[in-house]
Amino acid sequence: MIVTGAGGQLGQALLEAFPEAHGLMRADWDVTLPPPPDLETDLILHAAAWTNVDGAEDDPQSAAAVNVGGVQHAAELGAPLVVWSTDYVFDGRKRTRYLESDTPGPLSAYGRSKLHGESAAGEQAWIVRSSWLFGWSSHNFVRTMLRLGAERAEVAVVDDQRGSPTYVGHLAEATKAVLELPYGTYHVAAGGECTWAEFAEAIFEEAGLDTRVRRIKTAEFGARAPRPAYSVLRSERGAPELPHWREGLAECLARLKT
Ligand SMILES: NC(=O)c1ccc[n+]([C@@H]2O[C@H](COP(=O)([O-])OP(=O)(O)OC[C@H]3O[C@@H](n4cnc5c(N)ncnc54)[C@H](OP(=O)(O)O)[C@@H]3O)[C@@H](O)[C@H]2O)c1
Ligand 1 centroid to residue 55 C-alpha, Å: 13
User: Any residues with CB less than 8 A from the CB of 62 and at least 6 apart, and which?
Assistant: 50, 56
**144 Cβ inside 6 Å of ligand 1:** no
Please tell me the distance from the alpha carbon of residue 186 to that of residue 189, in angstroms, as a whole number: 10
What pLDDT does residue 184 have? Answer: 98
Of 185, 191, 194, nearest to 102 (Cα)? 185
CB neighbour burial string for 11-41, b if at least 16 within 10 angstroms, e if fewer: bbbbbebbeebebbeeeebebbeebeeeeeb
Q: List, for the chain, all residue ranges whose pLDDT scores fall below the cut of 50.
A: none
| Pocket mutation for ligand 1, best pick of 3, 4, 9, 10 (most atoms within 8 Å of C-beta) | 10
What pLDDT does residue 173 have? Answer: 98
| Residue 11 Cα: closest atom of ligand 1 | 16
Q: Give all strands (DSSP E) within the chain, no chain letters.
A: 2-4, 22-24, 44-46, 81-86, 125-130, 133-134, 154-158, 162-163, 166-167, 184-187, 194-195, 212-216
**84 Cβ inside 6 Å of ligand 1:** yes
Q: What is the pTM of this model?
A: 0.98
**117 Cβ inside 6 Å of ligand 1:** no
What pLDDT does residue 2 have? Answer: 98
Q: Give all strands (DSSP E) within 26-137, no chain letters.
A: 44-46, 81-86, 125-130, 133-134
| Residue 46 Cα: closest atom of ligand 1 | 45
User: Any residues with CB less than 8 A from the CB of 19 and at least 6 apart, and which?
Assistant: none
Of 256, 249, 155, nearest to 203 (Cα)? 249
Please tell me the distance from the alpha carbon of residue 66 to that of residue 74, in angstroms, as a whole number: 11
Please tell me the distance from the alpha carbon of residue 129 to that of residue 232, in angstroms, as a whole number: 11
Length of the chain: 258
**137 Cβ inside 6 Å of ligand 1:** no
Cα 253 to chain center, whole Å?
Answer: 18
Active site residues: 110
Say what angle helices 141-151 and 196-207 make with each other, to 10 degrees: 60
**86 Cβ inside 6 Å of ligand 1:** yes
